[in-house]
A and B are shown apart, each in its own frame.
Chain A
């Protein structure tokens, strides 16, 4: 079974641009979560989706948004990029949210550099 796939692996953008990151969950998984990882702040929760609905959102500005499609694939978008948005963005998928100890499986992430 294929794991969580994130594309692209690396991305370089300039300030003010916008970017879209993609996450394909493990087949059969319907819940997708996103995290931002930086050396200073560590791993911070961005948002989670289930059945195309955002169920929970972290403390990030409105420039960060996401969506989930009917096939459970998810995208996140960052508009008006700032230097501080440079980070590793990780996606995780699980069968269903919050029911028992469903394991979250992580992708290898997208490394975003903002110049």
Chain B
């Protein structure tokens, strides 16, 4: 079974600075997808960024980028120029590429605080 681990339950960052959220996962499969979701106090999970395991290039979405290390099974999220609106719970998630399932396996989450 696949597992996702987020070892830091909480982090804080000053507005306009950069922060990196860590995530490791365990799987025996070679093809899969990884995601970072954000959950603000409104409770709605919002996709921040996704990475396909077969792609060596790290995904980027504006101020968000990932450092995907397949051999180390590591998938960290870097937020640049942090904004107050980035404050939320962040979840790392894994999904199999084979099998036709949408099932996401989530980490426990990390609470990010952005200080003005």
Contact = CB atoms under 8 A, between A and B. Distances in A.
A109 B102 contact: no
Provide the main secondary structure of the chain A interface. strand
B50 A48 contact: no
Contact of B100 (A90, A97, A103, A105): A97
B44 A109 contact: yes
Interface in B89-109: 91, 96-109
Contact of A108 (B43, B47, B104): B43
Interface in A69-115: 88, 90, 92, 94, 97-99, 101-109, 111
Contacts, number: 65
Contact of B50 (A31, A103, A105): A103
B64 interface: no
Determine the interface band of chain A, counting residues with CB < 8 A from chain B. 20 to 34
Given A42-B106, A43-B91, A101-B50, A106 B100 contact: no
Contacts of A24: none
B101 A98 contact: yes
B84 interface: no
Contacts of B97: 98
B45 A42 contact: no
B101 A56 contact: yes
Given A43-B91, A90-B45, A109-B43, A104 B100 contact: no
Contact of A42 (B50, B102, B107): B107
B43 A101 contact: no
Contacts of A98: 96-102
Contacts of A58: 103
B42 A108 contact: yes
B50 A55 contact: no
Nearest to B50: A101
A59 to B, nearest CB: 10
Contacts of B33: 101
8 contacts: A48-B102, A98-B96, A101-B33, A102-B102, A103-B50, A105-B47, A106-B44, A108-B42
